[in-house]
């Protein structure tokens, strides 16, 4: 279970909530930091501070090569034994989009239908077959993994989620905005699209430019460092 | 299981491998892209393309506030229902470091012992107790989650891994270099440090500046976009 079931028949909810948080006010987000960064403040804003999950997109088209450019950046991020198990399916044609939309949670259906582009981000449990390229010094480990499908599935999931965390800022670095969702029937999506590849879907992500109106929910709060950390 | 067992008694190996890939040559990494970025190339290099997992650190100290500055950036990244379950324990004192090192896989012990700072990145399955701040419009969902500890544990893990993917570039944005490891006895670390908080450790990460010598393994290859994606 990726999220928490609030939509009947779905195993999870979206990365953004299914309920419009209309009673929430925008929280203030800093535009500079007490500790100097080695990147400029405008870039920190684009990648993190001012970046927003997009609920409604403009009609501006998104090219495959823009998504690939983001992958070109994020692929250098670290993974366990460099296994790099993240995969992505670009769902472009109207027919393909329809096949996907039917498996989305109710409130995710219209935005997935109308987004300029949607990608399914997945984990590949067969990553060990590429370790000859990725980790040529670990051929014995790769051979052992061939006989350990459950370990591979968990490794693929863990490391692809980590890579998804690189992918989202990388898409922003290419100038794209994203609306990631876990509110979909993952088993049905896997059966629909990944019966052959055996990829395991993690999130469905709409990609494009924000619409002039209705693009964002109010900015929600975050916890302070003192609330999430300790020093010993 | 986070990784794959190649160290006796350990449940996983490091994000970097346990075996020095001395037979590997550095692969070439591009320093510009075919598709223009909205961030400058030097920043793309710092965050992704030229950033390297560090195996040996200099003695330069790392302040808690530097780590908090990275959290200040990454906390704005999206999570499911904004639950933001990532937590981190800064292991600073020599006594605390000793308590951690004993649970690291063999080859991870010396580098964890000598790094200027080490942090344990964890997931908090009790994230629902903070949803009053994070997602005030979802109080019914939060109440339901209180009675669903298994769903919470999985949601915490999934979303904290996603946040870890934001945290690593954010640490680099603060000028830090990282050496993340999954090669440790997670159950023992959780018992040692998180008996009260019930946080679940995900990675142990050394943080600092690279040593003048021996800081990096050769740069390993990555897969091309055409090898990890398809368009339909």
Reduced to 3 states (helix: H, G, I; strand: E, B; else coil), residue A169 is helix
Query: pLDDT value at position A163?
Result: 98
* Residues of chain B contacting A77 with CB distance shorter than 8 Å: 48, 51, 165, 168-169
Interface probe, candidates B78, B100, B168, B189, chain A, greatest A C-beta count within 10 A: B78
Summarised one tens digit per residue, pLDDT across range B20-58 is 455 567 888 888 888 999 999 999 999 999 999 999 999
CB atoms within 10 A of CB A231: 15
Q: pLDDT by residue (tens digit) across A157-179?
A: 999 999 999 999 999 999 999 99
The answer to whether B214 and B55 have CB atoms below 8 angstroms apart is yes
**In the predicted structure, residue B178 carries a pLDDT above the cut 80:** yes
Chain A residue numbers touching B6 (CB-CB < 8 A): 141
CB within 8 Å: B137 and A24: yes
Contact A2, B80 (CB under 8 A): yes
CA-wise closest residue to A58 among A217, A211, A207:
A211
Whether residue B16 has pLDDT greater than 70: no
Residue with tokens 């050496």: B179
Question: CB A92 to CB B232 under 8 A?
Answer: yes
CB < 8 Å from B in window 103-142 of A:
124, 130, 133-138, 141
Say yes or no: A69 contacts chain B, CB-CB below 8 A. yes
Which of the residue ranges A24-38, A81-95, A181-195 would you say has the lowest mean pLDDT? A24-38
SS (H, E, C) chain B: CCCCCCCCCCCCCCCCCCCCCCCCCCCCCCCCCCCCCCCCHHHHHHHHHCCCCCCCECCCCCCHHHHHHHHHHHCCCCCHHHCCCEEEEEECCHHHHHHHHCCECCCHHHHHHHCCEEEEEEECCCHHHHHHHHCHHHHHHHHHHHCCHHHHHHHHHHHHHHHHHHHHHHHHHCCCEEEEECCECHHHHHHHHCCCCCCEEEEEEEEECECCCCCCCCCCCCCCHHHHEEEC
Is residue B40 within 8 A of residue A43, CB to CB? The reply is yes
* Whether B230 and A77 lie within 8 Å, measured CB to CB: no
* Arithmetic mean of pLDDT over chain B: 91
Strands A86-91 and B229-231, how do they pair? Answer: parallel
pLDDT of residue A25: 74
Residue A71: list chain B partners with CB under 8 A.
225, 228-229
Residues contacting A23, CB < 8 A, separation 6+: B136, B137
Is there a contact between B6 and A125 (Cβ–Cβ < 8 Å)?
no
Query: For residues B125 and B156, is the Cβ–Cβ distance under 8 A?
Result: yes
Q: How far is A9 from chain B (nearest CA, A)?
A: 16
End-to-end CA distance of chain A: 34
Q: pTM, whole model, 2 decimals?
A: 0.92
- Bridge-based pairing state of the strands A200-208 and A177-181: antiparallel
Count other Cβ atoms within 10 Å, centred on residue B130.
19
All residues at 6 or more sequence positions from B184 whose CB lies less than 8 Å from its CB, including other chains? B10, B12, B103, B104, B105, B108, B201, B204
Rounded CA gap, A221 and B139, in Å? 15
Contact B161 A162 (CB under 8 A): yes
Express as a percent the part of chain A with pLDDT over 70: 90
* A144 interfacial to chain B (CB closer than 8 Å): yes
| pLDDT tens profile A112-155 | 999 999 999 999 999 999 999 999 999 999 999 999 999 999 99
d(CA A70, CA A23): 35
Query: Which residue did the predictor score with more confidence, A4 or A164?
Result: A164
When computed from its CA atoms, the radius of gyration of chain B, rounded to whole angstroms, is: 19
Confidence of residue A13 (pLDDT cuts 50, 70, 90): very low
Check CB contact of A205 with chain B, cutoff 8 Å.
Answer: no
């Amino acid at each position: 279970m990726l999220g928490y079931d609030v939509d009947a028949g779905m195993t999870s909810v979206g990365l953004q909530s299914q309920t419009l948080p209309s009673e929430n006010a925008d929280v203030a987000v800093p535009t500079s930091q007490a500790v100097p960064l080695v990147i400029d403040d405008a870039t920190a804003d684009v990648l993190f501070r001012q970046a927003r999950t997009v609920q409604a997109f403009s009609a501006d088209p998104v090219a495959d090569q823009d998504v690939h450019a983001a992958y070109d950046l994020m692929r250098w991020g670290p993974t366990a034994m460099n296994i790099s198990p993240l995969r992505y399916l670009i769902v472009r044609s109207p027919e393909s989009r329809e096949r996907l939309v039917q498996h989305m949670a109710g409130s995710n259906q219209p935005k997935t239908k109308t987004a300029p582009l949607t990608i399914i981000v997945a984990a590949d449990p067969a990553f060990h077959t590429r370790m000859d390229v990725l980790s040529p010094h670990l051929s014995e480990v790769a051979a052992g993994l061939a006989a350990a499908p459950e370990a591979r599935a968990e490794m693929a999931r863990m490391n692809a989620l980590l890579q998804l965390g690189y992918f989202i800022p990388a898409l922003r670095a290419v100038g794209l905005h994203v609306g990631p969702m876990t509110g979909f029937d993952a088993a049905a999506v896997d059966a629909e699209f990944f019966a052959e590849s055996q990829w395991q879907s993690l999130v469905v992500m709409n990609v494009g430019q924000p619409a002039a109106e209705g693009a964002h929910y109010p900015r929600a709060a975050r916890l302070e460092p003192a609330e999430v950390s300790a020093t010993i």
